[in-house]
Structure 1
Amino acid sequence: MHPMQNSKAVIVAAIVCLIVGFTAGFVLRPVIAPPTATGERAPGVVSASASRSSEPRGVQYFEANIEEARRVVAGCTHGSIRGGECANAEQAIVTVDSAERRRRFFDR
């Protein structure tokens, strides 16, 4: 067999294996972790989102609660807080601070 044909066969085999694996995953997903009537997972099944208690608070929340945003950013800097709230809190601080600077500039 020619070396080029051998590498093509390996690539085709890898693609076929990926397709079979993904298809099996989608087909077996309801069997492995069936949803309950309320849309939650069955007891004993841990999902990826189960590690956090809720969704991260948004930028608008932190804009309205700027002291909480500053506390979260301080925690993110020290490494005690991680996740989406770090970026949202930082964005809120930037927005509020720039609005305050703009207000002071035009109120001279």
Structure 2
Amino acid sequence: MTQGKTLIIVLVTLIIGFGAGFVLRPVIVPVERAAIVAGPPAAAPMPAEPRGTQYFAAHLDEARQIVAQCAEGTARGDECANAEQAVIEAEGRERFKKFMSN
């Protein structure tokens, strides 16, 4: 008999708790109003994916140009790291070939 009363008390308590939670949720955490936008902003173009290390390994002249632009501060982002990595690897291969040929 006491198990039945305990089960009823637990169920009633849970129902009251969930009900209070649903009722008080807007008060506890207010719903933020989203800004209405007519369309996508025209001034902010979608950034292109940065070219990878493999691309720059195949195009070393362009990689060296990007590294120079990054040093000047005119280029930023993942392309700088990818281009620099490709140039470092290419120079390392060249040094290794020179070392092995001697």
Instruction: Report TM bin, short chain.
Output: 0.5 to 0.7
Q: Give the alignment's TM-score, normalised by structure 2.
A: 0.58
1:26-58 residue CA offsets vs partner (Å, 9 max, x unmatched): xxxxxx89xxxxxxxxx8235xx9441x10000
- Find runs of 4+ consecutive structure 1 residues off by over 4 angstroms: none
**Structure with more contact order per residue of length (Cα contacts < 8 Å, sep ≥ 6):** 2
**Aligned-partner Cα distance in 1 for 2:40–2:97:** 52
- Which structure 2 residues correspond to residues 12-27 of structure 1 after superposition, within 5 A? none
- Which structure 2 residues correspond to residues 1-108 of structure 1 after superposition, within 5 A? 44-45=39-40, 50-52=45-47, 54-108=48-102
Q: Which has the larger radius of gyration?
A: 2
Q: Give the alignment's TM-score, normalised by structure 1.
A: 0.55
Q: Aligned with 1:82: secondary structure?
A: coil
Which sections of structure 1, spanning at least 5 residues, go unmatched?
A: 1-19, 26-31, 34-42
**Aligned-partner Cα distance in 2 for 1:83–1:63:** 18
Which sections of structure 2, spanning at least 5 residues, go unmatched?
A: 1-28
Aligned residue pairs, count? 71
